[in-house]
Amino acid sequence: MKYIESKNNVVFKRIKKLLSKSKKRKISKEFIVEGINEIKICFEAKYQFLELFICLDILSDEILFNINKIYPNIKKTDLSKNLFNQLSYKQKGEGLLALVKSKDFDLKSLILPKNPFILVAESPEKPGNIGAIFRTADAAGIDAVIITNPKTELFNPNIIRSSLGSVFTSQIAIGSTDEVIDFLINNNIKIYSLFIEKSIEYTTINYNGSCAIVVGTESSTLTNKWKLKSNKLINIPMKGKMDSLNLSVSAAIVIFEALKQRDAV
């Protein structure tokens, strides 16, 4: 197993750039996952693993044994503790990083069941919100998460971190607003979009059957294209002075109302 201890090593520099530069991730179509559990979830989701970076000064013998057992055919490189800590975001690093190949997220690649339940997020930007959306989608058993016009690259380390690895458990597609609207309509999926004005309370909707919940950012509402093409515009009543909720909170409220209805059938 190769050992790296110099910060001038080309491999170390490359990994560091993948963690800090979205452009580098887009060009190479590679990203980094940290954490034993997150890496296991990613691996089980059939992502292609290119290399594992371990720190023998951190890993226990038992964990190292399990890593060799679970990932026997994946190249492994040992990083010094000093180098590993420069890459790790965890206060107590677990001693494991994975270099992973990205997937393509074309709408045509989605495999949907009968009566799919979909979440659409338009132009999400904050990694913490995006990660929270994936955690909600995983908890609710959403069939697919579709992101339109994303402002943040999907495998930003902060998204992976805040999602606790659930970014790997959902079917994902990315497209423009027009592409996603056409996809939903062509597949007879009803569109329920969250709007503040000229909308009805979210609890009055029947969410059984094929449907998509569409949410926008709290800083700006959904684009007018959704207003024109949605089956219904919905809102979450609020009693305070604020007129909007956090993106992931809004999504969760509507999703679990829909889930309650769908599970009752």
154-192: pLDDT as tens digits = 999 999 999 999 999 999 999 999 999 999 999 999 999
CB 192 within 8 A of CB 207: yes
Domain spans in the chain, listed from the N-terminal domain onward: 2-101, 107-264
1-57: pLDDT as tens digits = 899 999 999 999 999 999 999 999 999 999 999 999 999 999 999 999 999 999 999
Q: Stretch 99-106: mean pLDDT, rounded? A: 94
- Domain 2-101, CATH among 3.40.50.1860, 2.60.40.10, 3.40.50.150, 3.30.1330.30: 3.30.1330.30
d(CA 124, CA 150): 6
Residue 128 pLDDT class (50, 70, 90 cuts) = very high
Asked whether the predicted pLDDT for residue 130 surpasses 90, the reply is yes
Q: Does domain 107-264 have CATH number 3.40.1280.10?
A: yes
Total-model pTM: 0.91
Per-residue pLDDT, 255? 97
229-250: pLDDT as tens digits = 999 999 998 877 666 678 889 9
